[in-house]
Chains A and B, each alone.
Chain A
Amino acid sequence: MSLLIRHGRVIDPANGVDAVEDVLIADGKIERVGKSLAAPPGAEVVDARGKVVCPGFIDIHVHLREPGYEYKETVATGTRAAAAGGFTAVACMANTMPVNDNGAVTDYILAKARVEGVVRVHPIGAVTKNLRGEELAELAELAEAGCVAFSDDGRCVMNAGLYRRAMEYTLPFGVPLISHAEDTHLAQDFTMNEGVVSTEIGLPGAPAAAEDVMVARDILLAELTGAHVHIAHLSTAGAVRLVRDGKARGVRVTAEVTPHHLVLTEEAVRSYDANTKMAPPLRTKRDVEALVEALADGTIDCIATDHAPHALAEKEGEFDQAAFGIVGLETAVSVLLDRLVRPGLLPLGTLVSRLSRDPARLLNLPGGSLAAGAPADLTLLDPERTVTVDPLTFRSKSRNTPFGGWTLTGGPWLTVVGGNVIRP
Chain B
Amino acid sequence: MGWTRKDLLTMRELDAGEIVLLVDTAASLQEIATREIKKVPALRGKTIVNLFYEPSTRTRTSFEIAGKWLSADVINFSASGSSTSKGESFIDTAKNIAAMSPDVVVVRHSSAGAAELLARELACSVVNAGDGAHEHPTQALLDLLTIREKKGHFDGLHVAIVGDITNSRVARSNIHGMRKLGMTVTVAGPPTLIPPFVQELGVKVAYRLEDAIRDVDVIMLLRLQHERMRAGLIPSVREYSRYWGLTLDKLGRHARPDVLIMHPGPVNRGVELSPELADGPYSVILDQVAKGVAVRMGVLLLLAGSKGAAAA
Contact = CB atoms under 8 A, between A and B. Distances in A.
A82 B114 CA distance: 34
Contacts of B84: 317, 321
B134 A202 contact: yes
B116 A195 contact: no
A320 interface: yes
Question: Which interface residue of A196, A201, A204, A205 has the most chain B CB atoms within 10 A?
Answer: A201
B132 interface: yes
Interface in B111-170: 111-114, 116-117, 131-135, 169
A205 B84 CA distance: 22
Given A198-B195, A199-B200, A201-B134, A319 B83 contact: no
DSSP majority for the A interface?
A: loop
A203 B135 CA distance: 11
B91 interface: yes
Given A195-B196, A199-B197, A200-B201, A317 B112 contact: no
B82 interface: yes
A202 B169 CA distance: 7
Nearest to A204: B133
Pairs A-B, 10 closest by C-beta atoms: A272-B113, A202-B134, A318-B111, A202-B133, A196-B197, A202-B112, A199-B195, A196-B200, A317-B90, A320-B111
A320 B197 CA distance: 21
A367 B120 CA distance: 47
A195 B113 contact: no
Question: Which interface residue of B84, B117, B135, B200 has the most chain A CB atoms within 10 A?
Answer: B117
Interface residues of B, number: 28
A317 B201 contact: no
Contacts of B200: 196, 199-200
B91 A202 contact: no
Contact of B117 (A194, A195, A202, A317): A317
A385 B131 CA distance: 43
Given A188-B230, A189-B230, A196-B197, A203 B12 contact: no
A318 B109 contact: yes
Contacts of B201: 199-200
9 contacts: A196-B197, A201-B112, A201-B134, A272-B116, A318-B113, A319-B111, A320-B112, A321-B83, A321-B84
B108 interface: no
B230 A321 contact: no
B83 A202 contact: no
A316 interface: yes
A315 to B, nearest CB: 10
Question: Which interface residue of A204, A316, A317 has the most chain B CB atoms within 10 A?
Answer: A317
A317 B116 CA distance: 11
A203 B172 contact: no
Contacts of B116: 272
Nearest to A207: B196
Question: Which interface residue of B90, B196, B230 has the most chain A CB atoms within 10 A?
Answer: B196
A115 interface: no
Interface of B: 12, 82-84, 89-91, 109, 111-114, 116-117, 131-135, 169, 172, 195-198, 200-201, 230
Question: Which interface residue of B109, B112, B114, B172 has the most chain A CB atoms within 10 A?
Answer: B112
Nearest to A192: B112
A313 interface: yes
A272 B117 contact: yes
Interface in A172-225: 188-189, 194-196, 198-205, 207
Contacts, number: 70
Nearest to A197: B197
A149 B109 CA distance: 42
A201 B173 CA distance: 11
Contacts of A195: 196-197
Nearest to A194: B196
B198 A199 contact: yes
Contacts of A203: 112-113, 132-134
Contacts of A188: 230
Contact of A321 (B82, B135, B195, B198): B82
A127 to B, nearest CB: 28
B117 A318 contact: yes
Nearest to B111: A318
B111 A321 contact: yes
B197 A202 contact: no
A207 B197 CA distance: 12
Given A198-B195, A201-B113, A317-B84, 5 more contacts: A188-B230, A202-B135, A203-B132, A207-B196, A317-B83
B112 to A, nearest CB: 4
Contact of B12 (A196, A200, A318): A200
B12 to A, nearest CB: 7
Contacts of A317: 83-84, 89-91, 117
A195 B112 CA distance: 16
A318 B196 contact: no
A200 B113 contact: no
Contacts of A321: 82-84, 111
B113 to A, nearest CB: 3
Given A199-B200, A202-B134, A202-B135, A318 B114 contact: yes
B195 A318 contact: no
B139 to A, nearest CB: 14
A199 B89 CA distance: 27
A194 B194 CA distance: 13
A199 B12 contact: no
A202 B116 CA distance: 13
A284 to B, nearest CB: 11
Question: Which interface residue of B12, B116, B169, B201 has the most chain A CB atoms within 10 A?
Answer: B116
A321 B114 CA distance: 11
A195 B197 CA distance: 6
A196 B203 CA distance: 13
B90 A318 contact: yes
Contacts of A313: 89
A355 to B, nearest CB: 34
B170 to A, nearest CB: 11
Question: Which interface residue of A198, A202, A205, A321 has the most chain B CB atoms within 10 A?
Answer: A202
A205 B82 CA distance: 20
B172 A200 contact: yes
Contacts of B114: 318
Interface in A309-334: 313, 316-321
A7 to B, nearest CB: 49
Nearest to A313: B89
A273 B69 CA distance: 37
Nearest to B84: A321
B193 to A, nearest CB: 12
